[in-house]
Structure 1
Amino acid sequence: MKISRVSIVDQVCDSIKQDIADGIWKAGDRLPSEAEFAETFGVNRLSVRMALQKLSTLGIIETRVGEGSFVCSFSLKPVLSEISIFYEGADQYHDIQQLRNLLEYECMRLAAHTASEQEKAELKEALDHYYELNLNYFELGPDNEEALELAVDADFNFHYKVVKMSHNRLYKDIYFMVQQLIRGHINQLVSGRTRRRKEAGLPPFGDDDTHKKIYDCIINCDEDALRRAMDEMLGIIPVKGMDIFD
């Protein structure tokens, strides 16, 4: 097997990229000059310039004439927004449902064991905000798109808060990157269940609201009840008064 040699340019590029990933330089920060990098790495300025050009092509930094190079606020959200159309439809709906089931349940389980008192208090605030915005959507009617969007935002925020409480950075990043798909899934759940409850003459929330169940499970560290609460929230297990009415 041939041994590939890593070029100086790639080594410089990887080192700068790692420092950005580690938070040494954050979005908006100005990077050292080519001359400063050259002295730091013990290489010539041309190698540094080529490394910076590579990072610029990747969208990690931007170079401004006469000012220097700056760290970009890198996000995959625009890309994922464009490809979300490929995850629409019944089959794709179940794919996203399964992804949420796998990822969110593990984050909830971890959060139940690792969340601080401050984080639990913040989760209660997110739950209250969820109730407020979903009540507003219910009162304005299931066809009010603006109210639905706000309700979905509050719903997503509750779940994202739980994901962050897992203290697993990779889970958090993955969840954030696929948020467009998750928001679409939440939209279908919220709009469908709200419409059905309103048509059935029921109040916006039942006594066993799934988000309240999840909150209680995390606070009480109840893993057994958490599994069922998660399945009910995603509609995997039909919930009386939201999915079934007989």
Structure 2
Amino acid sequence: MAIQKISRDSISDQVFVQMKEQILEGEWKPGEKIPSENELARQFGVSRVTVRNALQKLSALELLETRFGEGSFVRSPDAASVMSPLIPAAYLNDNGMEEILQLRRMIEGPVCGEACRRASEEDVKELEYFFKKMEATKDYLPEFARFDYLFHIKMARIAGNSIIMRIYDIMNEVMKCSFEKVVQARGNRAGLYYHGRIVDAFERKDDEAAEKIMDEHMKELYESFFNDFRD
């Protein structure tokens, strides 16, 4: 997108928004040095102080890194940075995806085991419902990813740990985006295989098997990140 001259209303905010869009839309790429304060002030038609204020806001959001004597550089976003409501979850890159998958690998096995121990018949039926929806939407990956995500959210709710649920609530959009990226990159075969086995373990009330299967699933998913996402 082309930089536009700024009107006199909310000058600092307008500069900040346009600069943020330059980053989020990929005009300024991770690792790239952005124009100097003087050059940005000239392009926007504003003062250097206004540009500096915008740069400080972008640095606070961890979108920019200012290096003394060198200038400002676009940062590669991590999972924490895209949790800000000011930054779309779609900005999540491979480094952020790796952190999300690390987190899931650490918590989802134990969550699955605890959920299996606590699950009522109604809970199991709801997990079965989400799995059947995954099967029914296997040829339409966005919907498949949505039901995959809902399966995991339901499992976390069954486990009954308020802190885990708070983590999921805070990371809601980021987690949804990560599920979509996984399915887009890898398809649905592994998801159907592991989720079917997990449902079977819940039906048998075998919490040890449920936790082990989820651990296998997360290990396979995490390790495939290096093969599929980074090729």
Query: Tell me, which stretches of 5 or more residues in structure 2 are unaligned?
Result: 1-81
Map residues 12-161 of structure 1 onto 2, 5 A cutoff: 80-83=84-87, 88-133=92-137, 135-137=138-140, 148-161=141-154
Counterpart of 1:216 in structure 2 is 200
Query: How big is the shift at 1:163?
Result: 0.5
CA distance in 2, matches of 1:167, 1:106: 12
CA distance in 2, matches of 1:119, 1:215: 11
Query: How big is the shift at 1:132?
Result: 1.3
Counterpart of 1:165 in structure 2 is 158
Counterpart of 1:180 in structure 2 is 173
TM-score calculated relative to the size of structure 2: 0.52
Counterpart of 2:38 in structure 1 is none
Contact in 2 for aligned 1:130/1:151 (Cα 8 Å): yes
Counterpart of 1:236 in structure 2 is 222
Query: Tell me, which stretches of 5 or more residues in structure 1 are unaligned?
Result: 1-77, 138-147, 195-203
Query: How big is the shift at 1:207?
Result: 11
TM-aligned CA distance change 1:160 to 1:83, over 3 Å = same
Aligned residues: 144
Counterpart of 2:14 in structure 1 is none
Q: Tell me the C-alpha RMSD between the 2 structures.
A: 3.2
Query: How big is the shift at 1:177?
Result: 1.9
Amino acid paired to 1:236 = Y
Contact in 2 for aligned 1:108/1:218 (Cα 8 Å): no
CA distance in 2, matches of 1:207, 1:101: 15
CA distance in 2, matches of 1:113, 1:100: 20
Moved over 6 A (4+): none
Query: How big is the shift at 1:108?
Result: 0.7
CA distance in 1, matches of 2:158, 2:143: 23
TM-aligned CA distance change 1:91 to 1:215, over 3 Å = same
Query: How big is the shift at 1:81?
Result: 4.4
TM-score calculated relative to the size of structure 1: 0.50
Query: How big is the shift at 1:121?
Result: 0.9
Identity of aligned residues (%): 22
Query: How big is the shift at 1:123?
Result: 0.9
CA distance in 1, matches of 2:135, 2:200: 15
Amino acid paired to 1:227 = K
Query: How big is the shift at 1:187?
Result: 1.2
CA distance in 1, matches of 2:99, 2:191: 29
- Residue among 212, 218, 225 paired with 1:227: 212
Query: How big is the shift at 1:191?
Result: 1.0
Query: How big is the shift at 1:88?
Result: 2.3
